[in-house]
Amino acid sequence: MPVAFALMQARNELTALARDTSAEEIRVAPGGAASVGFHLAHIAGSLDRLFTYARHESLDPTQLEYLRREAEFAVQHAKDDLFEATMARIDVCLTTLREIPDDVLPEPRPVGRRELPSTVRGLLFHAAEHTTMHVGQIRTTLRVIRGLGLSSDDAR
């Protein structure tokens, strides 16, 4: 349940941020930090990858291409599309969580090309904490942008 609660909280915060964030603000990278758009693209992609590993599957070519192009997606897609894709991915994860039996949680799962050791529980926990960390970074980035009065032309 803590994973579900963390993802629901992240989704609620993203819903509010989507209303209050301008299309220009998602592209600003203050001092070279990651833009809000990158964080959104990364949340969606990392959740997809972590839940794939939790299912004991390998990443498919589409997921690998997304991983290679996450930074590009942040500038190529509209604000609303980035927020909607991220919240849709969280929704898929919440549905998936309901379907995972408790007895599967301690099962080992290899992660990535190097097959780093984890468990289903570990992957789900990491998905939740990683998502909440990036939502916090979005909030911080927006405070910096707004506090300094930056635009996408000023901060790259």
- Does residue 155 fall inside a structural domain? no
- Does residue 116 fall inside a structural domain? yes
The number of helix segments (H) and strand segments (E) in the chain equals: 5, 2
What mean pLDDT value characterizes the chain?
A: 94
The CATH number of the domain holding residue 144 is: 1.20.120.450
| pLDDT greater than 70 at residue 104 | yes
- Does residue 154 fall inside a structural domain? no
Name the pLDDT band for 148 (thresholds 50, 70, 90): confident
- Does residue 125 fall inside a structural domain? yes
- Does residue 153 fall inside a structural domain? no
| pLDDT greater than 90 at residue 2 | yes
Residue 31 to residue 71: CA distance in whole angstroms: 16
Full residue range of the structural domain in which residue 9 is found: 2-148
Mean pLDDT over 89-108 rounds to 97
- CB–CB of 48/89 below 8 Å? yes
pTM passes above 0.85 = yes
How many structural domains does the chain have?
Answer: 1
- Does residue 156 fall inside a structural domain? no
